[in-house]
């Protein structure tokens, strides 16, 4: 079993660590062989050495102690060295570098070991100076492997950080553009916050996964970005629009899609889709393309519900706010006409949460 100097050892940081502090495990069923190797390593100032005479303990010792170098015998009871190496291949993450020490001098055993995970093979009886040189060389290999892994991990972390920063920046631009358009129609810009949160709530109620709910939350604020291109005398007209003015107003869907054209990110592709389709109606009477039923993308259908609800219950320069009961009654009436009937049902199931959103992001009172 484990010798007196085989107490559990702490894993070293391994970046550019001292070779003498790296973790070495000796697995040999002969106590005399273990004692010889321990003495040799101790005299050479290797500080972290474990040993066991039972090869069945190898996997646990490697897992618990992050072994850097394994000095492994081949012919042992219970499990031979080849079986030990097969077990080590199942380890997730770092595997120790393996040096086989065997009394089998023939090429067959050497080739079998080197065709497994062993990096080196030394025949017993061994030359002390040669063995120490091979141990040092393999620890150098292990240190280099770990250094490269750590560098790759740092690089991956930095790439992920930069990617997230880019994503956050793009998301912030999307939000601010959405608010810029909204300020032309609503001085607080809170409509798009409420509307997008309501849309995500409907999406969740309909069984949409979290990633798509987040996408809907972040893309739907761009639904009316095309209003930037609509003249103020039409956008803020207090009375009814003329037929010609209404045609100009309807063009904001196409203007928005053109503004968002040319970027292949999923966020902006979805925002463009919502721009084009959130004024389509379930019965085909909407615009700009007169799409009908499920031909209207689901993101557009959900945004239509959220947008109409919040627009009706909000004050605009050209209208007073509707009451929530009156707005809900209109949505029920328009189910199957303007709105997807199934989504209308999901919308109704989350009305209490929607009212909470209205209260949390309410427009300030204008005195």
Q: What CATH number did the domain enclosing 96 receive?
A: 3.40.50.2300
Give residue 14's pLDDT band: very low, low, confident or very high (50, 70, 90).
very low
Domain match, 198 and 114 both: no
Give residue 11's pLDDT band: very low, low, confident or very high (50, 70, 90).
very low
In a domain, 162, yes or no: no
Cα–Cα distance, 135 to 286 (Å, whole number): 76
Output 133 or 265, whichever has higher pLDDT.
Answer: 133
Cα–Cα distance, 102 to 298 (Å, whole number): 67
3 three-class SS: coil
In a domain, 176, yes or no: no
Cα–Cα distance, 257 to 301 (Å, whole number): 16
In a domain, 81, yes or no: yes
Query: Domain total for the chain?
Result: 2
Pick the closest to residue 272 from 286, 256, 288 (CA basis). 256
In a domain, 222, yes or no: yes
Give residue 10's pLDDT band: very low, low, confident or very high (50, 70, 90).
very low
**If 0-12 CB within 10 Å is exposed, 13-18 middle and 19+ buried, where does residue 159 land?**
exposed
Domain match, 143 and 265 both: no
Domain limits at 117? 19-155
Residue 1: predicted pLDDT: 43
Give residue 136's pLDDT band: very low, low, confident or very high (50, 70, 90).
very high
% residues pLDDT > 90 (the chain): 55
Task: Confirm if 224 and 182 have CB atoms less than 8 A apart.
Answer: yes
Instruction: Count CA within 13 A, CB hemisphere, residue 280.
Output: 24
Domain match, 234 and 295 both: yes
Domain match, 143 and 247 both: no
Domain match, 105 and 202 both: no
Q: What is the DSSP letter of 225?
A: G
In a domain, 14, yes or no: no
Residue 113: predicted pLDDT: 82
Domain match, 81 and 199 both: no
**If 0-12 CB within 10 Å is exposed, 13-18 middle and 19+ buried, where does residue 23 land?**
buried
Q: What CATH number does residue 264 fall under? A: 1.10.3210.10
Residue 68: predicted pLDDT: 93
Domain match, 136 and 216 both: no
User: Is the per-residue pLDDT at 307 higher than 60?
Assistant: yes
Residue 244: predicted pLDDT: 95
Domain match, 140 and 277 both: no
Domain match, 198 and 87 both: no
Per-residue pLDDT tens over the stretch 93-126: 778 999 998 887 778 878 888 888 888 999 888 8
**Highest-scoring range by mean pLDDT, 18-32, 50-64, 188-202, 339-353:** 339-353
In a domain, 276, yes or no: yes
Domain boundary (106, 137, 155) is at 155
Domain match, 191 and 290 both: yes
Domain match, 223 and 348 both: yes
Q: What is the DSSP letter of 149?
A: H
In a domain, 10, yes or no: no
Residue 269: predicted pLDDT: 92
Domain match, 250 and 329 both: yes
Domain boundary (115, 137, 155) is at 155
User: Is the per-residue pLDDT at 189 higher than 50?
Assistant: yes
71 three-class SS: strand
Cα–Cα distance, 211 to 169 (Å, whole number): 18
Provide Rg for the chain, Cα atoms: 35
Residue 5: predicted pLDDT: 42
Per-residue pLDDT tens over the stretch 196-246: 999 999 999 999 999 999 999 989 988 988 988 899 888 888 888 999 999
Residue 3: predicted pLDDT: 45
Q: What is the DSSP letter of 318?
A: T
% residues pLDDT > 70 (the chain): 87
In a domain, 295, yes or no: yes
């Amino acid at each position: 079993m484990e010798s007196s100097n085989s107490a559990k050892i702490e894993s070293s940081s391994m970046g550019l660590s001292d070779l003498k502090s790296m973790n070495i495990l000796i697995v040999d069923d002969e106590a005399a062989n273990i004692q010889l190797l321990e003495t040799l390593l101790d005299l050479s100032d290797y500080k972290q050495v474990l040993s066991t005479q039972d090869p069945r303990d190898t996997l646990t010792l490697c897992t618990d102690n992050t072994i850097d170098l394994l000095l492994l015998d081949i012919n042992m009871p219970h499990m031979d060295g080849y079986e030990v190496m097969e077990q080590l291949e199942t380890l997730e993450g770092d595997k120790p570098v393996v040096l086989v020490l065997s009394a089998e001098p023939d090429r067959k055993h050497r080739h079998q070991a080197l065709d497994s995970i062993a990096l080196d093979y030394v025949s017993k009886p061994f030359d002390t100076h040669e063995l120490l040189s091979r141990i040092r060389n393999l620890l150098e290999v292990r240190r280099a492997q770990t250094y490269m892994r750590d560098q790759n991990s740092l690089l991956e972390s930095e790439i992920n950080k930069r990617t997230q920063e880019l994503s956050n920046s793009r998301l912030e631009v999307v939000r601010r553009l959405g608010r810029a358009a909204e300020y032309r129609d609503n001085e607080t810009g809170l409509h798009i916050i409420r509307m997008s949160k309501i849309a995500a709530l409907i999406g969740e109620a309909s069984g949409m996964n979290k990633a798509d709910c987040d996408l809907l939350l972040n893309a739907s604020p761009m639904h009316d970005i095309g209003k930037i291109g609509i003249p103020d005398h039409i956008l803020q007209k207090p009375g009814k629009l003329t037929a010609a003015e209404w045609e100009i107003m309807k063009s904001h869907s196409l203007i928005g899609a053109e503004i968002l054209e040319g970027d292949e990110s999923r966020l902006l592709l979805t925002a463009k889709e919502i721009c084009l389709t959130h004024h389509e109606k379930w019965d085909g009477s909407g615009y700009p393309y007169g799409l009908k039923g499920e031909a209207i993308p689901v993101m557009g259908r959900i945004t239509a519900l959220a947008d109409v609800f919040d627009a009706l219950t909000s004050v605009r320069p050209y209208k007073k706010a509707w009451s929530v009961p009156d707005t809900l009654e209109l949505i029920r009436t328009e189910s199957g006409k303007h709105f997807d009937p199934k989504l209308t049902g999901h919308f109704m199931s989350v009305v209490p949460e929607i009212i909470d959103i209205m209260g949390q992001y309410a427009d300030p009172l204008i005195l």
